[in-house]
Each structure stands twice: as structure tokens, then as C-alpha cells.
Amino acid sequence: MSNDGRIISLKHKVLYHVAKKTFEGTLEEERDNLPEEIIPGMIPHYRCCVYKEREVVRQRIRLAEGKAPGAVDNGNVIQVIEPACADCPISSYIVTDNCQNCLGKACLGACRFGAIHPGEKRSRIDANKCRECGMCAKACPYNAIAHLVRPCKNSCPVGALTYNEDGLSVIDEEKCIRCGQCIHACPFGAISTKTAIVPVIKALKSNTPVYLMIAPAVEGQYGKDITMASWRKAAKEVGFEDYIEVGLGGDLTTAAEAPEWYEAFKNGEKRTTSCCPAFVNMILRHYPENKDCISTALSPMCELSRMIKAEHPGCITVFAGPCTAKKSEVVDQKIPGNADYVLTFAELHAIMKAAGVELEPVEENYQQASIYGKRYADVGVAQSCVEYMKEQGYEDVDQMKIKSVSGGKACKTTLMMMGKGRLKEDFIEGMACEGGCSHGPHAHDDTNKAMKVRDKMIEGADQRTITENLKRYDLTKFNMHREGPLPDPKAAE
């Protein structure tokens, strides 16, 4: 993660304080005092003054409550904290020492906004007037004007980040796929998400049973001693009715998706996976010509939520993982039976800390998924589907052509080729995050060391097949497929 440790620390501090006050039932009366409690004294730690720091904290508190940071809420789970964004340099074009202060001044003539002025030794750009059209850089015969792309804009795979007349970042709703890559790319901590901390804690304090579902990416991110049994123990201590690993949801998705893929293969049709909501959003918003190819199988989160709700009517399900887009799946896709709330790992940690609960090493005794379901977090959906088809005795499986891609650029290229009829593969597994969910924007630890620990933990799991694992559950109580088409995001806007 590229975000400065101090920024992450502040984010976690805000989440913890909101969670603690919610548990205590004092958030409403003490909310206005929290900024000063979190940023005490008169010496600034992060920005120009404590007053600006406290305003940023105030807006973070609103996000922690599930609200927009400012007065206007556009519905996006990802929001820009404007006072934090204002610290970022407005202009992305600068005149370097390569400037020869030539007589021609082609840069001045090329600028339509009067943003460039001659200087004593080199030209200079007025950041308040620059509109970042780039004409000055093209006109300079010495290549002396450099383009410095903001990290948030550079990280966005679909060009959804723009700037307004004040130089503040703006998220283009028609383009944003809610992948969350911009959040940790911003060195000023100016982009964040709404959270469900408050309603989750209120649910935990109610008489309604609340079930925690954690993404399969969790294995390995907290060390080899933090097992699924560790998470189950912690979840129950916090107040959850029980904990279920979403790798089981991966097995459920496989059982729904594999037959659909096989039927499409026999009919000469193409299909894409539906597990990654950012990938689905990319199709719906940027490549709608491919929307009918999206599998009707539910995501692992939704499959597992439906199963739990079928077994325990009236319960509440909460998903936790390294993903921002999962929040969008719940808020935007509105699939019946899906998780009621989505948390990131950091948000779940804040709830645990506020409840006085810590993760502890527990010997593994709680495997609920096959190793294929666990590998969903590592771009393993296609592999799981192929394995299930073989277990079921499907013919000609080896003749299927499958393309697994991860990262925004690879997904875009693949979908573009698919839309133009130039893709030779039959099935596309798409993950918006490079390397899959284990490397999501809210991963706790996605280093190579953590991934090696993850591999060893999965290798140590029993080798039950997908079919064997699913025989433990009654799959007749709920529908494993989406009913009807996904919402048209542009129509909703």
C-alpha cells in the first residue's frame, strides 16, 4: 500500500472512536467533540493547522457513519474529502530546469488560458489558471515542461478521476467502477469510503442474530497462527452469532457457474465471471455490449448470505474483506438475499478493538471450504469451475479455452477484444485488482511474505473436493442464480 502510515493510523483512529462511541451509545451526544479528542492541542501533526486537521476528521467521522463527507451525497460508496484534497498540488504541469528561456516562447502561445508567464530564467505556470490541457508541453521545443499525474488519477483504470475548477479531485459517476484503487494511491488520504460500522454495531447490540462472513483472502494476511478458528473465536466474542468463511461461498458459486459455462460452451457462447463487482461494473459502465455474457451465478458473498438466511430466517449477514467494490455490490446491484452490510478489514478491526477483542492463535479446526473455494481470492474462479466440471464427469472440458485476467488494464483489453469479437477464449475470469482479491485496496498484508504464508496454510487444508464439500449443505433451500438482469447504472443515475 502506498499510503503514508500516519494517514492510515488516523483513519483507524477515527474508525475506532466511532465504533467505541456506538457501542457505548454516546455517539450522538459526543460526535461534535470527537475531532478535538482525536486531534488535541494546538500543534498540527499532518496539515497546516489543527483546525484543518479537525475538519478532515469531522468529515471522516461522517464517512464512518455511512454518510457523505459534505452536504451533497451522490450515492457513491467512494467519496472525496475536499479539505484533504486541497493539500495536493493543483497543477500537474511544471516547467523544469530544461527550459532555455527561449525568445519564441512557444509555450505561451500554445496556452489558451493565460496560465504561462515568462520568468527571469525560465517560464512559470500559474497553477490557479492551468487547466491541464497539455498544449504547452507539446509546444515546447526542449521538452522542458513535465506532466506530473496525480497518484489518484494515475491509479484509476477507467479514467474516472478528474479535477474541478478549484483543482479538487472529482469522481465521474458514469465512469467509476468502485474498485477503490484511488483510495490508497492518494498520499493525502483525501479519498475514502462510507462505512457500515454504526449499523453493524447496532445490529450486534440488538436481539437479531448477526453472522460474520470473511473473504477467503484473509488466510495468510495475519500470520500462520491466525486461523479460521481464530476468526470464529474472535467473532463470537464480539457478539456475532457465528462466523463462516466465504471460501464456502466460492464452492457454491462454482456449483452454479460451472454448469452455466458448460451449457454456453456447447452453444458456442461466451461468458464472464460475476464474482468481482468492480469487473462487473466495468462491463456495465464501459463495455455494455458484453453485459449479457455476465454469469447469472451469484458472487461467493451473495451465495453464502442466501444460504445463511435460508437456514436462519430474519438474521443479518455481514461480509468483511479487502474489497471496496463489495460495498458497491450491496448498494448498487441490490441483489435480494445479499449481505446486509460490508466491512473492510480495518473497519472490522475497529469494531473488534472497541469491543475489547483481539485475534489470538487457535489451532485450525474449522475448515468450511475446499482449497478451490479458498483460491477464489487468487484469481482461481476458472480453475475451480474446471475442477468441478471434471468432478461431475462433464465431457470435452479440456477443449474449453479460458482466459484469467487481473488488474484494470488487462480487464479492459480483454473486454474490448471480446466486444469486437476478436477474443478466442470462451470464458473470461476478471478481477479488477492485480493478483486478485488477496491484493485488494484494503488488504491487511499483501506482501510476498504474506502470500507465501497463505500458500502454506491452504496447502495444509484437507483436500476435500468441491462436490464432497457441498454434500454437507442443503442447496435446495435457496436460489443460486441472479433473478433478472443487473441494474443499468446509467439509468439509475
pLDDT at 420 over 90: yes
| Per-residue pLDDT, 2 | 47
Phi, psi of 232 (to 5 degrees): -65, -40
492: confidence class by pLDDT, cuts 50, 70, 90: low
Query: What is the percent of the chain where pLDDT is above 90?
Result: 87
pLDDT at 232 over 50: yes
HSE-up (13 A, CA, CB side) for residue 356: 2
| Per-residue pLDDT, 14 | 97
Q: How far is CA 111 from CA 96, 140, 150, 386, in A?
A: 17, 11, 21, 57
58-83 CB burial, b ≥16 within 10 A, e <16: bbbbbbbbeebbeeeeeebbbbbbbb
Contact of 432 with 179, CB cutoff 8 Å: yes
pTM of the complete model beyond 0.75: yes
pLDDT digits (tens, 9 = 90+) for 131-177: 888 999 999 999 999 988 889 999 999 999 988 878 789 999 999 99
Closest by CA to 461, choosing from 340, 375, 336, 360, is 375
Q: Lowest-confidence range among 23-27, 122-126, 315-319, 373-377?
A: 122-126
Closest by CA to 176, choosing from 469, 408, 474, 425, is 408
And the C-alpha cell for 425?
477464449
Contact of 50 with 1, CB cutoff 8 Å: no
Q: Which residue has the higher pLDDT, 202 or 3?
A: 202
Q: Which residue has the higher pLDDT, 376 or 94?
A: 376
Instruction: Report, in angstroms and rounded to the nearest whole number, the Rg of the chain calculated over CA atoms.
Output: 25
pLDDT at 108 over 50: yes
| Per-residue pLDDT, 48 | 85
6: confidence class by pLDDT, cuts 50, 70, 90: confident
pLDDT digits (tens, 9 = 90+) for 371-409: 999 999 999 999 999 999 999 999 999 999 999 999 999
Mean pLDDT throughout 225-251?
Answer: 98
Q: How far is CA 246 from CA 10, 51, 117, 321, 414, in A?
A: 29, 43, 58, 10, 27
> Could you count the other beta carbons within 10 Å of the beta carbon of residue 112?
10
317: confidence class by pLDDT, cuts 50, 70, 90: very high
| Rounded CA separation 70/77 (Å) | 13
Contact of 332 with 178, CB cutoff 8 Å: yes
pLDDT digits (tens, 9 = 90+) for 170-204: 999 999 999 999 998 998 999 999 999 999 999 99
| Per-residue pLDDT, 485 | 83
pLDDT at 106 over 80: yes
The CATH fold assigned to 91-145 is Alpha-Beta Plaits (3.30.70)
pLDDT digits (tens, 9 = 90+) for 54-69: 999 999 999 999 999 9
| Rounded CA separation 221/93 (Å) | 39
Closest by CA to 245, choosing from 262, 257, 227, 263, is 227
| Per-residue pLDDT, 3 | 52
And the C-alpha cell for 362?
487457535
The domains of the chain are located at 2-86+149-193, 91-145, 195-469
All residues at 6 or more sequence positions from 43 whose CB lies less than 8 Å from its CB, including other chains: 50
Write the CATH number of the domain with boundaries 195-469.
Answer: 3.40.950.10
Same fold, 2-86+149-193 and 91-145: yes
CATH classification of 2-86+149-193, choosing from 3.30.70.20, 3.40.50.10320, 3.40.190.10, 3.55.50.30?
3.30.70.20
pLDDT at 493 over 60: no
283-315 CB burial, b ≥16 within 10 A, e <16: bbbbbeebeebbbbbbbbbbbbbbbbbbeeeeb
| Rounded CA separation 89/169 (Å) | 11
Pairing assessment for the beta strands 427-431 and 271-272 based on DSSP bridges: parallel
Angle subtended at Cα 204 by Cα 361 and Cα 211, rounded to the nearest 5 degrees:
60
pLDDT at 367 over 60: yes
SS3 385: helix
| Per-residue pLDDT, 91 | 59
Mean pLDDT of the chain: 94
Contact of 453 with 220, CB cutoff 8 Å: yes
pLDDT at 1 over 50: no
SS3 125: strand
| Per-residue pLDDT, 128 | 78
